[in-house]
Structure 1
Amino acid sequence: MARSHLRLVHDTAPSRRRPRKRSLSFWRKRGRGMRIETKLKAVVLIGLLGLVVLPGGSDLALTLVRPVQAEASTCRVTSITDGDTVRLWCPNGEGGPARLTGFDTPELFSPECPSEYAAALAAKWYLRQAIWGASEVRMVREGTDRYGRLLVAMELDGQPLRQLMIEAGHARPYAGGQRAGWCAA
């Protein structure tokens, strides 16, 4: 029986097909790339995560580096709820939600119109920036309100916080009682 030998021949001639150029553009739809709907969903998801992670991360940093001098102890602002409400942690156990006194800001959680919601977000971020930028933060406890929150007058670098918020246009003077609306009539 004769043995047949297989002989492999390698093609050394250059290929006629050009290599396909790879596009660096993320948004172009070519070949087997990601669909545009998937890309848009990813962008929206990243944006929503930014709305949660950025405020939470800045509040955490604020908690770690910015103590608040109270009458009897050193407290920390752990989070900023809205433009006139913060959450405090005090080593003596008196922390919790605290309503900042002397001013009123737009409602973030029950706005009556879109402009009130936008103004509430601006007030919250202004308060966060003001507390973050102050070298000295002091507070004086003035009691509790009907919701069980601490009533606190806060000073930043010796200046009343109510004055800063009102002058910046993010708040109105408030001493209790009926609140005025924030929506244009």
Structure 2
Amino acid sequence: MDRTEKRAFVAFLADVFNSTSMVVVTENKGLTVADVTELRRRVRAAGATYKVAKNRLASRALDGTQFNGIAPLLKGPTALAWSEDPVAVAKAIVEFAKTNDKLVVLGGALGSQTLGVAEVKALAELPSLDELRAKLVGMIQTPATRIAGVTQAPAAQLARVFGAYAKTGEAA
């Protein structure tokens, strides 16, 4: 990379750090190209981005952002993953790390709060934003279906009673 490419990359990362809500730092020592391709596919499917960055350039991009607390994690072969949905990026990275021991989660940051490995894994266990929305809609719809069932029950009972009287009248 020449200086202009480095400046452009630092500016790109600074924009990312100013616009995202969650960053996860990983150590990717020994990952094959196929592994990284599969990881990027999973991360992209979760609506996140995974990027290998030079530590010095990433540290420069971190200056003055809310994620400045992850600077000490940038040692050795590291990569960054980020997303607007904090659960999605954490879940994608942690699930891949479970199946591939060469990817190690070093920590991350949620806004200005620096997270350790345990916190990132705990965040990954939470339901995603879409799952929470689906549960909320289900909870809202449940009382409505119960009310409809309760209001229809007396009419159905009356119909059964009239049907029973009709059958006894026919039998007599």
Shorter-normalised TM range: under 0.3
What TM-score do you get using the length of structure 1 for normalisation? 0.22
The structure with the greater share of residues assigned to strand is 1
**TM-score when normalising by structure 2:** 0.23
Higher relative contact order (CA 8 A, sep 6+): 2
Q: Which structure's CA Rg is the greater one?
A: 1
Structure holding more helix per residue:
2
